[in-house]
Amino acid sequence: TVGWSNHCNGQYIPNANKTAAGGYTQLTADCGNGSGVIIVSTHNPCEKIKTNFANTKFKQKVTDLDKPEVFDYDHEMGFAAGYPPSNTGVLGTQYPPMENAIGSHTVNLPPGNQYFGFMHTHNNESNGGVPIKIFSPADLAVFLTSCVVNADQSGDIADAYAMVITSEGNYMLNYTGATTNFNYNTTIKKSWNEWYIKQLLKIQNEDGSFDQDKVEKVFVRF
């Protein structure tokens, strides 16, 4: 299931998806909090999305990342979401930072199996090129092989999420499967990357830029 909120000047606008004609079409469901979802399973992720956005700490972390100056950094930033350490008296979701090395464009979850989610940025530039302002295959791999697995082992599998925050909009994945019995290995990772790059090159404009509505469609197909 894919859920997202598009925004303008820091303000969220209702569930909107740009059409090729420049207008907007409604997404499959409106979560009622300025976000919309495309539901590709029999489960409705709206309640989980609402729960996250009702959490003050979660909203503050999104605000910390959703800034023009952060998008202009030469490296990605983010926060992991983890269950509180056991037998410590600490309560609530913990959000350690995931800032990476200067000039890098990846973020990594901290060590440990308590991390069930993450949010991170995609920059406006990437080594002089134009980055893709939606999830990458690597983001999805971390989501499935770490967040979903950790949530299943340490909490509730339905807690697992991944979020990417960009100057073109914010996107969130929420896991709606029942098990971690999905097939993923290095061969699949290679085929994911090859397909993704091939499809993105098809929609790239002559000046190297991308139209976000086309990027969204490619990702949903992916």
pLDDT (tens, 9 = 90+) of the chain, 222 residues, equals: 444 444 333 333 333 444 444 443 444 555 665 555 554 444 566 777 788 888 899 999 999 999 999 999 888 999 999 999 877 878 889 999 986 766 667 788 999 999 999 999 999 987 667 789 999 999 999 999 999 999 999 999 989 999 999 999 999 998 888 888 878 888 999 999 999 999 999 999 998 899 999 999 999 999
Question: Across the strands, what pairs with 118?
Answer: 80, 162
Q: For residue 84, give the DSSP letter.
A: P
**pLDDT at residue number 180:** 87
Give the predicted TM-score (pTM) of the model.
Answer: 0.81
From residue 58, how far is each of 50, 79, 83, 176 by CA, in Å? 11, 10, 13, 20
**pLDDT at residue number 177:** 81
- DSSP H helical segments within the chain, as ranges? 46-53, 56-65, 68-71, 137-142, 149-154, 186-203, 212-221
